[in-house]
Amino acid sequence: MNKYYFDIRDGGQFIRDDEGVELAHSEAARQEATITLSEMARTWGSSRPHHRMAVEVRDDHGPILQVSFSFAVKPSSDLKGIGRNEKSGSRLLGKSRSSGR
């Protein structure tokens, strides 16, 4: 078992993990980082138009990987030529969500 540390970057905020977690291998650390980032994204405050989040994984020897996610909320005036089929696409997405697909 190796000890992995999961440092968090949330916008301009950095939270260093000084405790770490014992995991069997780096693939388990990648999965943990992905799950953590997914949970962070679900709680993102939509009042911010641009935002970046990351989980930086390291072990006792240094950095191993980074999982990141960026959000950009743009007003419709910035979407030149894109919005023509947006309503039908949104409707389809809504149906997929409600049907569990």
3-state secondary structure the chain: CEEEEEEEEECCEEECCCCCEEECCHHHHHHHHHHHHHHHHHCCCCCCCEEEEEEEEEECCEEEEEEEEEEECCCHHHCCCCHHHHHHHHHHHHHHHHHCC
Question: Tell me, what's the pLDDT at 16?
Answer: 98
23-27, 53-57, 67-71, 87-91: which has the minimum mean pLDDT?
87-91
50-59 and 2-10 strand pairing = antiparallel
Question: Tell me, what's the pLDDT at 81?
Answer: 61
- The rounded radius of gyration (Å) of the Cα atoms in the chain is 18
Question: Tell me, what's the pLDDT at 100?
Answer: 46
User: Between 48 and 62, where is the model more confident?
Assistant: 62
Q: Give the other-Cβ count within 10 Å of 56's Cβ.
A: 19
pLDDT above 90: percentage of residues in the chain: 48
The strand pairing partners of 62, in sequence order, are: 59
Question: Tell me, what's the pLDDT at 83?
Answer: 54
Question: Tell me, what's the pLDDT at 12?
Answer: 87
- CA separation for the pair 34, 81 (Å, rounded): 34
